[in-house]
Chains A and B, each alone.
Chain A
Amino acid sequence: MSGGAITNQIRTLRFLAGEMSQAELGQKIGVTRQTIAAIEAGKYSPTLEAAFRIAEVFDKPLDEVFQWVKGG
């Protein structure tokens, strides 16, 4: 299995959505503020369902919110 990591644009998208707070986003998709913080920092990979919900909140396709970056 090749190495890689999931990155995301949640911080940017929150900023563009009128500086939406982590707590607000968490409330919209049914997770805690700490979970949003962990996802944003790349320390927790959300379930596919949560990922789709986040994309839906920002009205973006999934691959504009989350990206797979191949490792060396």
Chain B
Amino acid sequence: MPYREKSNLLALAAMLVAYVPYFAIVAATPVESAPMPNLPLLGLFAAVSILRMFVLGAGYLWFRVRTPDDVREKADERDRDIERKSMAVAYYVLIFGMILVACIMPFTHAGWSIVNAGLFAIVLAEVIRCIVAAWSYRRSAA
């Protein structure tokens, strides 16, 4: 498996490990009336973000130890092509999410719900980027 495919899968795993629990807690907790800034939720978001960085760091360290030559390998034209395509798909997800959050949600929701929806759009866009990249590598693997 190419290094860049592995690093995309690692990024995807780190996102899922960190943010699935966060958004599950958010969905189960009514935060509409919570004061702004909602420090406990902000603290939880900071904690899961640190967890994500830790998973990423540990994964990259593992790659560096196990396959140092692969890590040093520069991105080639196929890597850049896959990155461009996955970024383009993620961009549309992000734009759609941001339009929803900034233009529609202010009429129906308030406060922390809007913040969380914005965070969810960002996380979803990144998850989609990783999935599209990993899938593109699989699809073009010989």
Contact = CB atoms under 8 A, between A and B. Distances in A.
B84 to A, nearest CB: 12
Contacts of B142: 34, 37-38, 40-41, 43
Nearest to B77: A47
Contacts of B2: 32, 34
Interface residues of B, number: 11
Q: Counting chain B CB atoms within 10 Å of each CB, which of A31, A40, A50 scores highest?
A: A31
Contact of B78 (A40, A41, A44): A44
Interface residues of A, number: 14
A46 interface: yes
Interface in A28-55: 30-32, 34-35, 37-38, 40-41, 43-44, 46-47, 50
Interface in B124-141: 139-141
Interface string B68-85: 000001001111010000
A32 B85 CA distance: 19
A33 B54 CA distance: 31
Given A30-B76, A41-B142, A44-B81, 5 more contacts: A31-B78, A32-B76, A35-B76, A47-B77, A50-B77
Interface of B: 2, 73, 76-79, 81, 139-142
